[in-house]
Copies of this chain bind each other. A is one copy, B any other.
């Protein structure tokens, strides 16, 4: 049994920093590197790619809406060809830094509002799929299983990597409980680690209503921009290893 650990990285901009990238890089196996549209700038991207390659962490393109002021967390009603072009632009820019660091872009993961929109909106999801088809159809997409993006990507012959969240609760239908709701986000490291192991080993998670939900995931998302986040990530990795789960990239 094996699973990947992914986290958002390189989400600073200019003078501003966010999260403890170096600490996370020692835990994760896949780095979702911001590409400059919602966060990240060329200097940060270069450094982050170099650090990831040094540690053997796979680089993924964390593509988002062009919205620094909103950190890519506000849905923008974009025409599909514009969204496709914006995603290709970000892929190419990150690829340059991945290559000069001796690596390459190993997958794509939408960020923030684009992530959520692509799970439910066929128009924007298809625009993301079109970007991957145009850029490199061998590039896997990391997304929520059973969402619209997953379905359209698979229909287009793109590899979909199913992602689960050990620190979020789920509804009976395998969708995420909104962050704002009570217990939408978990903070207890031991509990999160236990849920991570159950997802990896048994392919299931206990939903908010107590029912057991099937949750096959090839990657677990861990967070790095909240207090205690790195400690939780470490606890998850330790628990997985202790349970005999190999923590390694899906690439």
Residues of A within 8 A of B (CB): 11-18, 36, 39, 41-43, 45-46, 66-71, 73-79, 81-82, 85-86, 88-97, 99-100, 113, 134-135
The answer to whether B18 and A18 have CB atoms under 8 Å apart is no
Contacts of A68 in B (CB 8 A): 13-14, 68
A163 → B minimal CB distance (Å):
22
Cβ-defined partner of A88 (8 Å) among B13, B75, B77, B96: B96
Provide the residues of chain B in CB contact with A74, threshold 8 Å.
76-79
CA distance in complex: A88, B98 (Å): 11
Task: Return the contact of A97 from the options B15, B36, B43, B89 (Cβ within 8 A).
Answer: B89
Assess whether B88 is in contact with A100, with CB atoms less than 8 Å apart: yes
Specify which chain B residues have a CB less than 8 angstroms from the CB of A66 in the assembled complex: 69
Given contacts A74-B79, A99-B135, 13 further A-B contacts (CB under 8 A): A13-B16, A13-B68, A14-B71, A46-B88, A67-B76, A74-B77, A75-B76, A75-B77, A89-B93, A89-B96, A90-B93, A92-B94, A96-B135
Asked whether A13 and B85 contact (CB < 8 A) given A76-B75, A95-B96, the answer is no
Q: How far is the CB of A61 from chain B (nearest CB, A)?
A: 11
Identify A85's interface contact among B42, B78, B113, CB under 8 A. B42
In the bound complex, CA of A43 to CA of B88 (Å): 10
What 6 pairs across the A-B complex have the smallest Cβ distances? A92-B96, A16-B16, A42-B85, A15-B71, A42-B89, A75-B77
